[in-house]
């Protein structure tokens, strides 16, 4: 029997790799096997298409291409220009943005580009008021000295880590917490929801240069119209990090007040997670910030990764297909079914449910820490990650929560019935796990873990991962 194109491509690639370093080839095969057999519920992970994966393994990896399309610091970049322009075009059309910058290597890189673009555009320093040195690349050493002094006075207001924000929104150990005089807004202690009046109050008191919205562990929608109004009321630049829910925006599940692109001055995202592309980042903005954003390299970034930009172009083209909105809607439907299944079994959920792709379980209701719950589930074939809950008594390392998401399982084709079965497996493991004398140790019957692992594998049997890829 002749092999299809996908099987031939991946078999051939592994054969070539194995001839040089067989252990790498073995690890690649093992990773595919592990992903095929595990219930992947990490909210920030997905499965990229074979076309997206293959777009990363080619000669574009060999190219240096600092600069932007048509303005490179290296010769011979005409083909890089083609794929970068295609990726940016797809991004603009998909999200309705005026400008797209597709070079960031990650979400953190995208946020750094955005922060520096805002600073360069907004800081009222003598150096930046001079038209002849308006661009960052034109500043003298004396200008930079004055600028660094002013940087210490710039303020950012973002969502706190335990409320669901991201570490790049001002978490002290992160560079964002060192660049800015930072303050966080949280959520209502009773509901776990954003209190927009409290955010407005904090903005009036703190007077930030940047107001950041977006999250990595907040299970609800955010009203970006209201957040923009708050930013405008204090003269702040409104930035949205939509890394987690970009696929829901692209798929038109989040529209109107819940679509950040029409409301934010600048939007950052990753291209994996719910967008189902390669690991990487992206910045969307209007024309007023476009010039500064396009200076991300060399201001913040190193050389672009042309092979990843090629994969971004492929994935963004896939997201523009007519079936992507259905996929995005099924992500949310599955998350809500998973939440309902857990609630019926007595689980405690932050905010009591979800409007998006993720569910946050407060595992203190099971007498566990997040660290204990995460490992017990992993022993049972269920891949999740521990996460802080609002006002978490266990902090950001051990935590009291487990974050679960549905983008990956939705890609495999699982539906609401399978989400209920998944809720049963999660509840079974957590209810049968006991603390083991420390915040990390736990006790779980290995026979139960093996039983649940087999049930998880059986659940996935009807939904093969990469069915067109046969490695033999």
The tens digit of pLDDT for each residue in 323-337 reads 999 999 999 999 999
Q: Is 64 a catalytic residue?
A: yes
Give me the mean pLDDT over the 284-298 stretch: 92
Give me the mean pLDDT over the 457-472 stretch: 93
- Architecture field, domain 59-151+193-200+215-319: 3-Layer(aba) Sandwich (3.40)
Handedness of CA 301, 266, 211, 320 (dihedral sign): negative
Give me the mean pLDDT over the 36-42 stretch: 94
Give me the mean pLDDT over the 338-361 stretch: 97
pLDDT at 149 over 80: no
The pLDDT assigned to 140 comes to 66
Give me the mean pLDDT over the 184-207 stretch: 95
Catalytic residue (one of 18, 64, 122, 420): 64
Q: Which position has the higher pLDDT, 55 or 132?
A: 55
Q: Which position has the higher pLDDT, 180 or 11?
A: 11
pLDDT at 309 over 60: yes
- Architecture field, domain 324-461: Alpha-Beta Complex (3.90)
Q: Which of 402, 362, 369, 368 is nearest to 385 (CA)?
A: 402
- Same fold for the pair 59-151+193-200+215-319 and 324-461: no
Q: Give 73's pLDDT tier (boundaries 50, 70, 90).
A: confident
pLDDT at 131 over 50: no
The pLDDT assigned to 143 comes to 65
Name the percent of the chain lying above pLDDT 70: 93
Q: Which position has the higher pLDDT, 1 or 432?
A: 432
CA atoms of 184 and 189, how far apart (whole Å): 15
Domain ranges for the chain: 59-151+193-200+215-319, 324-461
pLDDT tens string 224-237: 999 999 999 999 99
pLDDT at 150 over 80: no
Mean pLDDT of all residues belonging to the chain? 92
Q: Give 170's pLDDT tier (boundaries 50, 70, 90).
A: confident
The pLDDT assigned to 134 comes to 46
Q: Is 416 a catalytic residue?
A: no
pLDDT at 68 over 50: yes
Contacts of 99 (CB under 8 A, 6+ apart): 92, 284, 285, 286, 287, 289, 290, 293
pLDDT tens string 417-457: 999 999 999 999 999 999 998 999 999 999 999 999 999 99
The pLDDT assigned to 123 comes to 62
Q: Give 407's pLDDT tier (boundaries 50, 70, 90).
A: very high
Catalytic residue (one of 40, 72, 228, 279): 279
**Burial tier of 152 (Cβ tally within 10 Å: 0-12, 13-18, 19+):** exposed
Q: Which of 386, 47, 117, 446 is nearest to 266 (CA)?
A: 117
Catalytic residue (one of 45, 66, 229, 470): 66
The pLDDT assigned to 151 comes to 60
Q: What is the pTM of this model?
A: 0.91
Q: Is 241 a catalytic residue?
A: yes
CA atoms of 107 and 171, how far apart (whole Å): 15
Looking from the CA of 109 toward its CB, the CA atoms found within 13 Å total 23
The pLDDT assigned to 15 comes to 96
Of the candidate ranges 124-128, 255-259, 468-472, the one whose mean pLDDT is the lowest: 124-128
Catalytic residue (one of 52, 237, 268, 270): 270
Beta bridge partners of 158: 184
CA atoms of 113 and 297, how far apart (whole Å): 9
In sequence order, which ranges of 251-379 are alpha helices (DSSP H)? 287-293, 296-299, 306-319, 324-344, 370-379
Q: Is 270 a catalytic residue?
A: yes
Please report where in the chains the tokens 């566990």 appear, as a residue. 368
């Amino acid at each position: 029997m002749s092999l299809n194109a996908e099987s031939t491509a991946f078999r051939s690639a592994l054969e070539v790799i194995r001839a040089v370093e067989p252990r790498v080839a073995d690890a690649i095969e093992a990773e595919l096997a592990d992903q095929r057999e595990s219930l992947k519920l990490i909210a920030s992970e997905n499965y990229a298409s074979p076309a997206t994966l293959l777009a990363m393994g080619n000669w574009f990896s060999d190219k240096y291409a600092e600069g932007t399309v048509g303005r490179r610091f290296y010769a011979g970049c005409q083909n890089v220009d083609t794929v970068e322009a295609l990726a940016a075009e797809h991004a603009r059309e998909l999200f309705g943005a005026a400008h797209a910058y597709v070079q960031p290597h990650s979400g953190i890189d995208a946020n750094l580009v955005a922060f520096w673009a805002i600073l360069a555009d907004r800081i009222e320093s003598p150096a930046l008021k001079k038209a002849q040195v308006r661009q960052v690349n034109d500043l003298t050493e004396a200008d930079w000295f004055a600028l660094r002094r002013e940087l210490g006075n710039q303020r950012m207001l973002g969502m706190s880590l335990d409320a669901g924000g991201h570490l790049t929104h001002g978490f002290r150990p992160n560079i964002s917490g060192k660049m800015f005089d930072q303050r966080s807004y949280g959520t209502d202690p009773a509901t776990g929801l954003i209190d927009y009046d409290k955010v407005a109050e904090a903005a009036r008191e703190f007077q930030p240069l940047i107001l950041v919205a977006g999250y990595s562990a907040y299970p609800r929608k955010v009203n970006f119209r209201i957040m923009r109004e708050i930013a405008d009321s204090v003269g702040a630049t409104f930035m949205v990090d939509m890394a987690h829910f970009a696929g829901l925006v692209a798929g038109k599940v989040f529209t109107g007040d819940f679509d950040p692109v029409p409301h934010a001055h600048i939007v950052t995202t990753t291209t994996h997670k719910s967008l189902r592309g390669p690991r990487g980042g992206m910045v969307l903005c209007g024309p007023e910030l476009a010039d500064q954003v396009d200076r991300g390299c060399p201001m913040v970034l190193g050389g672009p990764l042309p092979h990843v930009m090629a994969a971004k172009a492929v994935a963004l083209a896939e997201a523009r297909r007519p079936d992507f909105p259905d996929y995005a809607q099924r992500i949310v439907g599955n998350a809500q079914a998973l939440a309902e299944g857990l609630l019926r079994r007595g689980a405690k959920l932050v905010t009591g449910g979800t409007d998006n792709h993720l569910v946050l379980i407060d595992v203190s209701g099971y007498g566990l820490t997040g660290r204990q719950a995460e490992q017990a589930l992993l022993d049972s074939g269920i891949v999740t990650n521990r996460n802080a809950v609002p006002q978490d008594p266990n902090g950001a390392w051990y935590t009291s929560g487990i974050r679960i998401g549905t983008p990956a399982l939705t890609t495999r084709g699982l539906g609401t019935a399978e989400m209920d079965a998944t809720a049963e497996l999660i509840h079974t493991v957590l209810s049968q796990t006991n603390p083991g004398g420390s915040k990390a140790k736990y006790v779980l019957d290995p026979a139960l873990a093996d039983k649940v692992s087999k049930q998880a594998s059986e659940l996935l049997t009807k939904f093969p991962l990469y069915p067109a890829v046969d490695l033999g």
